[in-house]
Structure 1
Amino acid sequence: MNWFKNVFGIFLEWSIQRWILWTGKKIKVKDAPWLVGPVNFETKIGSEFYKKYAARENLSIHECTEDKGLLDDFNALHSESFDTNKVDPDVLEFYEKTANFSLDVWSQWYGVMSIGAKILISTVSKQIEQLNLPLSSLDTSQGMTSQVIQLRRENGEVAYTCWLRKVKATDQVVYAGFYTTCTPPRYGKPCVKVFFPLPRGYVTVILRPQLEADGSFKLISYGKKIGDPGYYRIHQVDEETIKIKYVPIKEVIHVYNDEEKVLRTDHEFRFLGMKLLKLHYKINRKYPK
């Protein structure tokens, strides 16, 4: 049975790449700096990708144990529509000092669309060790690791901040992501930009920040077309050219303190407007406040 899943997974990944090549919009890399990211030219990603990418780009790897976050400065997201000074300090601390926290996670799938998503995850995602979302809450019943990694240039400058998350029980990679900020041209304001390397390409998710009345914080990938916040699947044609598809996957990430001052996150996925998956995280401090 495993051999069939492996072959089927290879076929699905090949089909997705062909779909992007045949139907995607052709863009020069130099014309889309807000969109492009690290490319993987192998069939697997996993936790080793950071080492391979660092060696290829002459970067050094620094595994952060404390006081380092996905964003060096949360104020990079400040704009006339998003006042970072009004964000709950605990939420801000999580993004600037992510390495100081651990994660517990639960998952809930919805609707008939989840059948196709689960097939894709159980075949393609498990093989390539990327975007390997939990298929049930039992998968993450022992928790999820959270490791912040910085890739630095020779002068010490941080080229990328990476966030590696694995299922504790199995050591399987869930996400191997790169985090930074960008300003998509149609939106025109700072957003969070996340890359997930894939075979011959990557996913770029661009999320606009939104402040809630209680000081909590949302990241929202809703948009309408290329140049908006959203979910982009990208195939690298050659060093100078990419093909991109603006995929109708919408994400909302809500980071907040509950009534007992416990930091939590609700992460919701929708596909074609239909609710697909909800992940709930309890965010635990590793060290006293």
Structure 2
Amino acid sequence: MLWLGERRGYLSDWITQQWVRATGRSLDDHPHLLGPVGTRRRIGFDQPEQLADALNLTLDTSPSGGLLQDSAALFPGIHPRVAEFYDETSRYELQVWSSWRGPFRPFGQLLGALFSRRLEQMNVPLDGLDTAWGLHGEVTHLRDPSGQVQYTVWRRRLRRTGRVLFVGYYSEVTLPDGPGVRIVFPLPGGNLTVLMAATVGPAGELQLSSHGRTFGGAGGYFTLAGPPHRRAVGRMIPLHEDIVVWVDERSELRARHTLRLWHLHFLELQYLMRRTDQTAAPTVNEQPTPARR
């Protein structure tokens, strides 16, 4: 991959940034789209440590750390088990199965070759066997000198190989339709920010969706912020995500994560989440097939 120097970074990253700068909108009126950004060369599992050093923050990796605080109050009617997962995420182990739609698999391989493997960020599994040994997840809170949480980051990597899958910053956000979840994935000179509107289903399942058409509302955004960018800008992109977290008929906690480009479904991830004090996670042959919702 061609390196253009510290100011521009790699060619593929620079081209993407030029597109966002040329077609994006100012973020002056949308501060909720601003979030941690990455360095030019890589993101990696240690990105939160770099951010903490730069901002004089302390890392707190608690064995009971959660992505959100008090999910029951944030999402009234949510099933207690689902709320517990978001409030005490570190206590859970995840088993995941991935399913790509055939025509899009080469697209995933291209993204991996150009960006994901080099950056050690957003490495979506390309094969179900990639995750057969499970994931290692770690929730870390970045606290200021007063002890207040400034950032909550969830880092995940493959247990068998150690390859980094995601480094994402999670927080609650208020959207035009009510409360939601914001996820920020640092990228060189900017980030991918996903704003997901939340609803609670009749059985207490949490439904998160990034489908939206209004800038600043639910949706996916590429953003640029900080040097060498003169102003913070963002570009809404046609990436739509749906996540459903529910308790099944066997009292197992499950999730389904569906990703689409425009309206074309290209990837589905199925999760089984168990507390670490429960029995061992299933083998790869126990892949769940939950009913569509």
State TM-score, norm by structure 1. Answer: 0.89
Show the counterpart of 1:3.
none
d(CA) in 2 for partners of 1:256 and 1:190? Answer: 19
Deviation at 1:34, TM superposition (A): 1.4
1:70 aligns with 2:59: no
8 Å contact from structure 2 (residues 239, 259) kept in 1? yes
1:244 aligns with 2:234: yes
Superposition map of 1:1-289 within 5 A: 6-7=1-2, 10-28=10-28, 31-66=29-64, 68-75=65-72, 77-78=74-75, 84=76, 86-184=77-175, 187-236=176-225, 238=227, 241-287=231-277
Deviation at 1:207, TM superposition (A): 0.6
Deviation at 1:215, TM superposition (A): 1.4
d(CA) in 1 for partners of 2:132 and 2:278? Answer: 24
RMSD of equivalent CA atoms: 2.0
1:165-207, CA deviations, whole angstroms, 9 ceiling, x for partnerless residues? 00112111111011111223xx252211111100000011111
Show the counterpart of 1:81.
none
Q: Return the letter of the residue paired with 2:254.
A: R
Deviation at 1:75, TM superposition (A): 4.4
d(CA) in 2 for partners of 1:123 and 1:169? Answer: 23
Deviation at 1:240, TM superposition (A): 6.6
1:66-114, CA deviations, whole angstroms, 9 ceiling, x for partnerless residues? 2x21001214634xxxxx1x21110010000101101111100114244
Which has the larger displacement, 109-118 or 241-250?
109-118
Q: Return the letter of the residue paired with 2:222.
A: R
d(CA) in 2 for partners of 1:42 and 1:50? Answer: 15
8 Å contact from structure 1 (residues 77, 209) kept in 2? no
Which has the larger displacement, 173-182 or 14-23?
14-23
d(CA) in 1 for partners of 2:82 and 2:239? Answer: 25
d(CA) in 2 for partners of 1:44 and 1:118? Answer: 19
Deviation at 1:288, TM superposition (A): 5.1
- Unaligned 5+ segments in structure 2 are 4-8, 280-293
Q: Indicate the percent of aligned positions where both proteins have the same amino acid.
A: 33
What SS does structure 1 have at the residue aligned with 2:232?
A: strand
8 Å contact from structure 2 (residues 105, 126) kept in 1? no
- Unaligned 5+ segments in structure 1 are 1-5, 79-83
Deviation at 1:117, TM superposition (A): 3.0
d(CA) in 2 for partners of 1:217 and 1:244? Answer: 28
d(CA) in 2 for partners of 1:235 and 1:62? Answer: 28
